[in-house]
Amino acid sequence: MKKPPNNHRHHIRWPALVAAAVKLLLIPVYRSTDFEVHRHWLALTHSLPLSQWYSDTTSPWTLDYPPFFAYFEKFLSLFASRVDPTITHLHNGLNYASPLTILFQRLSVVISDVVLVYSVFRLGKNGNFSKLERFLMWVLVIWSPGLFIVDHMHFQYNGFLLGWLLLSISCLEEGRDLIGGFVFAVLLCFKHLFAVAAPVYFVYLFRHYCRGGLVKGFGRLVLMGSAVLAVFAAAYGPFLYYGQIQVVLRRMFPFGRGLCHAYWAPNFWVFYIILDKFLSFFLAKLGFDIQAPKASFTGGLVGDSSPFAVLPTITPLITFITVLLAISPCLVKAWRNPQPRMVSRWVSYAYTCGFLFGWHVHEKASLHFVIPLSATALKSTEDAKHYFYLSIVSCYSLFPLLFEAQEYPIKVVFLLLHAVLMFFGFSSRFPGTSAATASTALKGTDNNKLETHAFHIGWFGKSYLFGLLVVEIWGQFLHPIVFGDRFPFLPLMMISIYCALGMMYSWFWQLKQITLTH
- Contact indicator for 166, 127 with CB cutoff of 8 Å: no
Q: Computed from CA positions of residues 496, 465, 461, 382, in that sequence, does the dihedral angle turn out positive or negative?
A: negative
149 within a domain of the structure (yes/no): no
5 within a domain of the structure (yes/no): no
Domain tally for the chain? 2
274 within a domain of the structure (yes/no): no
End-to-end CA distance of the chain: 38
**Between the CA atoms of 27, 30, 35 and 36, what dihedral angle is there, to the nearest 10 degrees?**
120
Any residues with CB less than 8 A from the CB of 69 and at least 6 apart, and which?
A: 189, 190, 191
Q: What is the reported pLDDT for 292?
A: 58
67 within a domain of the structure (yes/no): yes
337 within a domain of the structure (yes/no): yes
207 within a domain of the structure (yes/no): no
507 within a domain of the structure (yes/no): yes
CA nearest to 184, candidates 343, 15, 353, 364: 343
Q: What is the reported pLDDT for 267?
A: 92
Give the end of a domain, one of 88, 112, 136: 112
SS3 130: coil
Residues lower than pLDDT 70 in the chain: 1-10, 127, 261-264, 291-307, 433-452, 518
246 within a domain of the structure (yes/no): no
Q: What is the reported pLDDT for 437?
A: 42
Give the end of a domain, one of 77, 112, 147: 112
Integer Cα distance of 152 and 105 in angstroms: 10
Nearest 5°: the CA angle 151, 499, 291 is 105
Count the alpha carbons within 13 Å of 517 in the hemisphere toward its beta carbon.
Answer: 24
Q: What is the reported pLDDT for 7?
A: 57
Structural domain boundaries, residue 366? 316-434+448-516
Q: What is the reported pLDDT for 133?
A: 85
Give the end of a domain, one of 68, 89, 112: 112
SS3 244: coil
Mean pLDDT taken over the chain = 88
- Contact indicator for 491, 477 with CB cutoff of 8 Å: no
Integer Cα distance of 485 and 483 in angstroms: 6
pTM: 0.91
Long-range contacts from 350-355, C-beta under 8 angstroms, 24+ separation:
350/196, 350/197, 350/199, 350/200, 351/196, 351/197, 352/503, 352/506, 352/507, 352/510, 353/196, 353/323, 353/326, 353/327, 353/507, 354/193, 354/196, 354/197, 354/323, 355/265, 355/267, 355/503
Integer Cα distance of 477 and 467 in angstroms: 15
